[in-house]
Amino acid sequence: MKNLVTWALIGSYVFTLLGVYALVDGFEHATKLMVLGFFSYATFLIKAIIEISSSKNKGVNKFSWIMGLLFIGSFVGIAYIIAGRKRFVQNA
């Protein structure tokens, strides 16, 4: 469960990219891969927001990360996994 956030983000990218490739290629179950990608990303988003909101960091920092995840989630998600997550988990 500790790495659920990381694996959910990776899974969302993998399933979504495979789904897009399968859709272009005409694979009949492409939408199922896309749905798996969506649910993986939703899992990442919910878990990351819970981690951020339960930390002891200042309110503006929390607000910035949450707004970034909601509006430009792909880029901020990678930045959160690489740089920001360690800070929030340590301050929980």
Mean pLDDT, to the nearest integer, of 2-13? 85
Is the per-residue pLDDT at 91 higher than 70?
Answer: no
Per-residue pLDDT at 88 = 63
Q: 75: Cβ–Cβ under 8 A, 6 or more apart, which residues?
A: 68
Would you place residue 81 in the very low, low, confident or very high pLDDT band (cuts 50, 70, 90)? confident
| Vertex 46: Cα angle to 40 and 52 (nearest 5) | 130
Instruction: Please give the residue range of the domain that contains residue 29.
Output: 4-90
Q: How many domains does the chain have?
A: 1
Per-residue pLDDT at 37 = 92
Distance (Å) of CA 49 to CA 5, 11, 18, 89: 10, 18, 26, 12
Q: Which two tokens stand for residue 31?
A: 């939408």
| Vertex 23: Cα angle to 21 and 44 (nearest 5) | 70
Per-residue pLDDT at 24 = 92
Per-residue pLDDT at 83 = 76
Closest CA to 41 of 62, 2, 3, 69: 69
